[in-house]
Amino acid sequence: MKLNKFTLFQSNEQLYYLSIKMHYGLNKYREQGTHIKNYQEYLKRQIYIDEFSYEMYMNFLEVINKIAIGKIVLKHNHIKSKSRLTNKLGYSLDTVNTITTKLRYILKQARIRGYNLHPTLFLDDERLVVGTGKGSRDFYFNEELLIKIYNHQPKSKVTQHAKDFIMIASTTGMRHQSVALIFEEKPIEIITPSGERFFAIKNQADKTGIKLLSPVMKPAMDVYRRLGKFPSYNSVTTITRQIRKLLVEMEVDDEVNLTKTIFGVGEVKETRKLNEVASSHVCRASFITNALNLRMERENVKMMTHKGINDGSAFSLYDKRSELDRAIQFYEASKDLNSTFFTYK
């Protein structure tokens, strides 16, 4: 077989998976592989790298979107989960952007390894970048709902797992990735200059490069003390599904507003039930929104979320506060909130 006749997912499947493992790990690209397998199912033949043209690239996106919404029905659909499809009109522009980013990475790796790409496909071509679209979710877990979740006794290990995540993420503002990293961490006791004591946990986020010490409030400490450790959260898809199951179990059927930009359609507004669209990331929005509603200074809230220690401003260059300094500052700003949920006692 000629080098440029390497099939993406058939005769040389092992080589493909090997190249993925060498760089970012198999799980990150597993779903991308199933999209390509589905496209091959649609074409009823194998796809060779050197024939994957610009036209085929665009057709690939159109086909996988139609497969997702049922306009194209395959005899064997390799994608079992529909968790990423939140609108019956198709994938959001953000989701398609993620798919194309991973597809271009795979093709770049093939080119590096000596495989020839189609002469019409230039990986730096701006037309290959779908881009992101406007999207908003006008909802969060307000304090009343968080208290209900805190007092709820889950009926299964799955919903207990979801409750624990909400307790941790909604009181620290951590993304799923950061919560997953505290599995083997122990809370660190910190003493303030005035002699007060509180616990904090390492908060790392590769997406933003932030490394912080996040004060641990009572709902999260309750989880740690009950288990003797923080729970493991490996899959963002799994915890999102579990959160929705918890809300269904609690009979939370509030309606919320969504705005999404759908691939090939445009901006779409819709009303959905919270138990259908809630995700792990809602906890981060809940932390920020509730803290602001409780009159915390915006700067103190940002310090524990997405703002980097150095934002590039002249002022920030002279900000030499350590992670410990920042943790103490946040604790001091949040210890006396008028809240029965966001508390350390």
Q: Please report, for residues 61, 96, 166, the alpha-carbon distance to residue 101 in angstroms, rounded to integers and kept in the order given.
A: 12, 8, 30
Q: How confident is the model at residue 15 (pLDDT cuts 50, 70, 90)?
A: very low
- Alpha-carbon distance of 231 to 173, in angstroms, equals 16
Last residue of a domain, one of 128, 150, 165: 128
pLDDT of residue 56: 92
If asked whether residues 329 and 212 sit together in one domain, one would say yes
Residues 164 and 93 placed together within one structural domain of the fold = no
Q: Same structural domain for residues 183 and 268?
A: yes
Of 144, 199, 177, 135, which Cα lies nearest the Cα of 281?
A: 177
Helices (H), the chain: 13-23, 27-43, 54-69, 93-112, 143-151, 157-172, 176-181, 218-227, 236-249, 274-277, 282-293, 298-302, 314-317, 323-334
Q: Within this chain, do residues 41 and 143 fall inside the same structural domain, yes or no?
A: no
In a domain, 105, yes or no: yes
Find the mean pLDDT for residues 224-244.
93
Q: Give the highest mean pLDDT range of 44-58, 148-162, 229-243, 264-278.
A: 148-162
Contact by Cβ (8 Å): 134, 267: yes
36 falls in which pLDDT band (50, 70, 90)? confident
In this structure, of 10-19, 156-165, 173-182, the range with the lowest mean pLDDT score is 10-19
Number of domains in the chain: 2
Q: Which structural domain, as residue segments, surrounds residue 92?
A: 3-128
DSSP state of 303: T
Q: Do β-strands 197-205 and 210-215 pair in parallel, antiparallel, or remain unpaired?
A: antiparallel
Considering the domain boundaries, does residue 340 fall inside one? no
In-domain check, residue 231: yes
Are both 66 and 168 inside the same structural domain?
no
Q: Would residue 341 count as lying in a domain?
A: no
Residues 86 and 187 grouped into a single domain: no
105 and 50 belong to one structural domain: yes
Residues 300-308: contacts with CB within 8 Å, 24+ apart? 300/329, 300/330, 300/333, 300/334, 301/173, 303/212, 303/329, 303/330, 304/172, 304/173, 304/203, 304/212, 304/214, 304/215, 304/330, 305/173, 306/208, 306/210, 307/210, 308/208, 308/209, 308/210
Q: Indicate whether 345 belongs to any domain.
A: no
Please tell me the predicted confidence (pLDDT) of residue 271. 85
Whether residue 182 sits in one domain with residue 41: no
Instruction: Write the CATH number for 172.
Output: 1.10.443
Work out the angle between the directed axes of helices 13-23 and 93-112 (0-180°, nearest 10): 100
The sign of the torsion formed by the CA atoms of 228, 234, 239, 242 equals negative
Q: Is residue 344 part of a domain?
A: no
**pLDDT for 312 beyond 60:** no
Q: Are residues 203 and 320 in the same domain?
A: yes
**214 and 279, same domain (yes or no):** yes
pLDDT per residue as tens digits for the range 191-206: 999 999 999 998 876 6
Distance CA 118, CA 52 (A): 6
Query: DSSP per residue over 136-194, as a string?
Result: EE-----HHHHHHHHH---SSHHHHHHHHHHHHHHHH---HHHHHHTTT--PEEEE-TT
User: Which one is predicted more confidently, 14 or 218?
Assistant: 218
167 shares a domain with 140: yes
DSSP 49: G
Using CA atoms, how far apart are residues 231 and 181, in angstroms rounded to an integer?
A: 10
Please tell me whether residues 188 and 246 are part of one structural domain.
Answer: yes
Separation CA 286–CA 297 (nearest Å): 16
Residue 3 has pLDDT above 70, yes or no: no
Domain boundary among 128, 162, 178: 128
Mark which of 73, 96, 128 sits at the end of a domain. 128
Torsion sign over Cα 63, 68, 73, 78: positive
* 116-164 confidence digits (pLDDT tens): 888 999 998 888 887 765 555 678 999 999 999 999 999 999 999 999 9
The pLDDT-based confidence of 316 (bands split at 50, 70, 90) is low
Q: Ramachandran region of residue 251, left (φ > 0), alpha (ψ -120 to 50) or beta?
A: left
Confidence class of residue 270 from pLDDT cuts 50, 70 and 90?
confident
